[in-house]
């Protein structure tokens, strides 16, 4: 039973790894579908927490996020198996490309396909944001934080670590020092 559940984590995260095109944020639509809706291993809010923590930690955001979910499910073995599952598909695909197709990225069909995929990723991200919005922007203070961070991260070259740590500090200041108003 135990091994079977670990195997399920491994296979599910390998699927997430295989279906994520682009940066770490492109993983979110797949994660919402596979982990939140289908398996119900984590909530939208937990995914956001893990993603935020992973952004200010060393390492690969996607691997760390999946290791968090694996850890929540099955402890330390879950974290290790989850992280390994995430890297399996890229490991196979990149090794094959490095061995066979050195000019892979120059093939016109590949370029056209990925121009199409990028459009799809935009729409999927937009849908993800709508879902995440509900569990993160719960009041006016959150809305203000959201607006400030969005604008600042677009116009200024500031590390995400600063935004995450800064907004956590603001959250603590408002919730713990500013009385109990909601």
Partner 1 sequence: MIILQLFFEFFKIGLFSVGGGMATLPFLYDLSDKTQWFTHAQIADMLAVSESTPGPIGINMATYVGYTTAGIPGSLAATIGVIVPGIALVILITAILDKFRHNPYVEGAFYGLRPASTALITSAGILVAKISLFHVDRYQATGVFSSIFDWKALALAAVLLILTQGVKATKNLHPVILIAASAVVGIVFSFAGV
Instruction: Let me know if 177 is exposed, middle or buried by CB neighbors in 10 A (0-12, 13-18, 19+).
Output: exposed
Three-state DSSP class for residue 16? helix
The set of residues, in sequence order, having a beta carbon less than 8 Å from that of 115 and lying 6+ positions away, is none
Nearest distance from C-beta of residue 41 to partner 1, angstroms: 14
Closest to partner 1 by CB, 12 vs 17, is 17
Nearest distance from C-beta of residue 5 to partner 1, angstroms: 18
Closest to partner 1 by CB, 7 vs 23, is 23
Nearest distance from C-beta of residue 120 to partner 1, angstroms: 4
Looking at residue 103, what DSSP letter applies?
T
Closest to partner 1 by CB, 4 vs 108, is 108
Nearest distance from C-beta of residue 11 to partner 1, angstroms: 15
Closest to partner 1 by CB, 7 vs 129, is 129
Query: Taking a C-beta distance cutoff of 8 angstroms, is the pair 30, 16 a contact?
Result: yes
In this structure, the dihedral spanned by the alpha carbons of residues 159, 161, 166 and 176, taken in order and rounded to 10 degrees, is 170
How far is 142 from 60, CA to CA, in rounded Å? Answer: 27
Counted residue by residue, the chain has a size of 182
Residue 23 token pair: 């940066």
Nearest distance from C-beta of residue 55 to partner 1, angstroms: 6
Closest to partner 1 by CB, 8 vs 24, is 24
């Amino acid at each position: 039973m135990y091994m079977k559940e670990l195997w399920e984590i491994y296979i599910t995260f390998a699927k997430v790894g295989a279906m994520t095109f682009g940066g770490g944020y492109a993983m979110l639509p797949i994660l919402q579908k596979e982990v939140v809706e289908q398996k119900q291993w984590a909530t939208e809010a937990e995914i956001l927490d893990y993603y935020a923590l992973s952004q200010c930690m060393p390492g690969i955001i996607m691997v760390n996020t999946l290791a968090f979910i694996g850890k929540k499910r099955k402890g330390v073995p879950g974290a290790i198996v989850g992280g390994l599952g995430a890297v399996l598909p890229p490991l196979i695909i990149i090794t094959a490309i490095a061995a066979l197709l050195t000019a892979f990225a120059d093939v016109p069909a590949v370029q056209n396909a990925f121009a199409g995929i990028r459009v799809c990723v935009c729409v999927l991200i937009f849908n993800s944001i709508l879902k995440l919005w509900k569990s993160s922007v719960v009041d006016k203070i959150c809305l203000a934080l959201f607006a400030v961070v969005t604008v600042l991260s677009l116009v200024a070259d500031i590390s995400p670590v600063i935004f995450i740590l800064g907004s956590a500090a603001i959250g603590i200041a408002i919730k713990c020092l500013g009385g109990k108003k909601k």
